[in-house]
């Protein structure tokens, strides 16, 4: 049994000396790279447009915009660490928003007391979490029990949730909610917007899950090698269920936050957000095959993405170009990382071949001596 355990450990901890040396270099660390990139972009905009970029209005606006995108990015990152993807989170959030909006419009009256409205908003939070739970269970069942690839399963449920939202609303947006909900979307605690505080709370919870619980270890190992986790005694199905439930429940919270911020619930909000969440995951250093990821890096990647977006907006760059930038960056980064991966594999293969030749040469010399 000890031999089996050691073999499993070798599968998960297999590293080469060059990789270890590279990781010891501060500049090779993704968080260092992100901090440098943030500092460069911040300096450029602070020098180029100081009155606009450094204004309290712009900074507050950036923090608000980070909030709902940040929750979606964290949700997507959890599935990416597990070596998968969830394309349904945006439409699931819209479904949660539509259900809650329909409830509020049907129940809330002008004479209703503030305390009763706050109780209704708490009920809306529970409903959002329940919708997220159900969505995560559906996605997980398709993936873990039926064996459908994640991209196909979540593509199907993405359209399922969109269809349900259309049935509820008839394709029309729902607007006009109680002031208490709007206070959440536009309120501030000091200088910091309330939506950003909610995002930080979600990020801290996910940080604990990923970095401070056995689940975090299991999901990373699952992303590295599913067969190895199965033979090492980890319940792969349970990992899939937990991963997609966490992602979808986070999306449910984001849906309620979007309602509060925009004073509306629509079936097609955030059409491009899926692409941006993938970009943030790649920027944060999550490999395309999963197995690694850091919540702090995701936060830094979010901030970098927001700096770029706000900078382009301040410079009055065309909206068409702004929409193109995430796709172009995603293609460029994935292509570069794949190229570096291929180059590194070639070097490792060359080193292994040279080492094999040296060992064969030493063996031949020993035979000649004997």
> For 286-335, what is each residue's pLDDT tens digit?
887 888 888 999 998 898 888 888 877 777 777 777 777 777 777 777 77
Q: Which DSSP string corresponds to 141-174?
A: IIIIIS---HHHHHHHHHHHHHHHHHHHHTT--E
Domain with 83 in it: 54-316
Strand-strand pairing, 174-175 and 264-265:
antiparallel
Specify which of 57-61, 148-152, 318-322 reaches the highest per-range mean pLDDT: 148-152
Q: How many domains does the chain have?
A: 2
Reported as a single tens digit per residue, the pLDDT across 16-35 is 444 444 444 555 577 788 88
Both 139 and 262 in one domain: the answer is yes
The pLDDT tens digits of the residues spanning 180-222 come to 999 998 888 888 899 999 999 999 999 999 999 999 899 999 9
Residues 87 and 234 in one domain: yes
Radius of gyration of the chain (CA): 24
Residues 351 and 301 in one domain: no
Put simply, whether the predicted model's pTM sits higher than 0.85 gets the answer no
pLDDT at residue 1 is higher than 50: no
What's the Cα-to-Cα distance from 321 to each of 280, 318, 324, rounded to whole Å?
18, 5, 5
**333 domain residue, yes or no:** yes
**Does residue 114 fall inside a structural domain?**
yes
Q: 17 or 103: whose pLDDT is higher? A: 103
- Of the two residues 99 and 45, the one the predictor is more confident about is 99
* Same domain assignment for residues 154 and 179: yes
Within this chain, do residues 77 and 217 fall inside the same structural domain, yes or no? yes
d(CA 143, CA 49): 48
Residue with tokens 């899950």: 209
Task: Judge contact between 31 and 300, C-beta under 8 A.
Answer: yes
Query: Does residue 6 fall inside a structural domain?
Result: no
**355 lies in some domain:** yes
368 shares a domain with 252: no
> Domain check: are 267 and 141 in the same one?
yes
DSSP alpha helix (H) spans, the chain: 2-13, 17-24, 30-48, 50-53, 56-81, 89-107, 114-140, 150-169, 179-186, 194-212, 214-224, 226-231, 236-262, 273-283, 295-314, 319-369
Specify whether 215 is located in the same domain as 337. Answer: no
Is there a domain that residue 275 lies in?
Answer: yes
Q: CA 111, 113, 117: angle at the middle one, nearest 5?
A: 110
**Given pLDDT bands bounded at 50, 70 and 90, which one contains residue 152?**
very high
Same domain, 309 and 339: no
Residue 346 lies in a domain: yes
* pLDDT at residue 92, as a whole number: 96
Q: Which residues of 250-278 are buried (b: 16+ CB within 10 A; e: fewer)?
A: bbbbbbbbbbbbbbebbbebbeebbebbb
Q: Based on the domain organization, do 193 and 70 belong to the same domain? A: yes
Claim to verify: residue 69 and residue 95 sit in the same structural domain: yes
In a domain, 253, yes or no: yes
* Co-location of 250 and 230 in the same domain: yes
Domain with residue 189: its CATH number is: 1.10.3470
Instruction: Note whether residue 270 is domain-resident.
Output: yes
């Amino acid at each position: 049994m000890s031999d089996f355990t050691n073999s499993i450990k070798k599968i998960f901890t297999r590293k080469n000396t060059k990789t270890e040396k590279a990781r010891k270099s501060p500049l090779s660390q993704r968080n260092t790279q992100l901090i440098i990139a943030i500092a460069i972009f911040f300096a450029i905009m602070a020098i180029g447009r100081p009155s606009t970029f450094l204004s309290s209005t712009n900074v507050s606006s950036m923090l608000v915009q980070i909030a709902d995108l940040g929750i979606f990015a964290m949700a997507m990152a959890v599935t990416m660490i597990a070596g998968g993807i969830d394309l349904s989170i945006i439409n699931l959030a819209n479904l949660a928003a539509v259900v809650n909006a329909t409830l509020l419009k049907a129940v809330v009256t002008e004479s209703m007391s503030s305390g009763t409205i706050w109780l209704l908003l708490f009920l809306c939070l529970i409903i959002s979490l329940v919708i997220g739970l159900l969505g995560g269970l559906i996605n997980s069942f398709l993936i873990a029990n039926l064996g459908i690839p994640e991209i196909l399963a979540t593509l199907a449920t993405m359209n399922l949730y969109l269809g349900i939202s259309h049935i509820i609303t008839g394709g029309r947006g729902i607007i006009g909610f109680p002031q208490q909900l709007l206070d959440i979307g536009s309120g501030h605690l000091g200088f910091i917007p309330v939506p950003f505080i909610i995002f930080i709370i979600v990020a801290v919870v996910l940080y604990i899950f990923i970095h401070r619980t056995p689940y975090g270890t299991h999901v990373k190992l699952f992303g590295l090698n599913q067969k190895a986790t199965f033979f090492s005694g980890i319940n792969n199905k349970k990992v899939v269920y937990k991963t997609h439930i966490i992602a979808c429940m986070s999306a449910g919270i984001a849906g309620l936050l979007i309602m509060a911020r925009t004073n509306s619930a629509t079936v097609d909000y955030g059409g491009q957000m899926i692409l941006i969440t993938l970009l943030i995951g790649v920027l944060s250093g999550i490999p395309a095959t999963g197995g690694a990821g850091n919540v702090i890096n995701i936060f830094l990647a979010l901030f970098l993405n927001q700096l770029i977006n706000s900078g382009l907006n301040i410079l009055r760059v065309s909206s068409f170009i702004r929409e193109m930038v995430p796709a172009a960056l995603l293609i460029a980064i994935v292509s570069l990382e794949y190229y570096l991966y291929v180059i590194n594999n070639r070097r490792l293969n060359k080193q292994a071949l040279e080492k094999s030749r040296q060992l064969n040469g030493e063996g031949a010399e020993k035979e000649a001596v004997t």
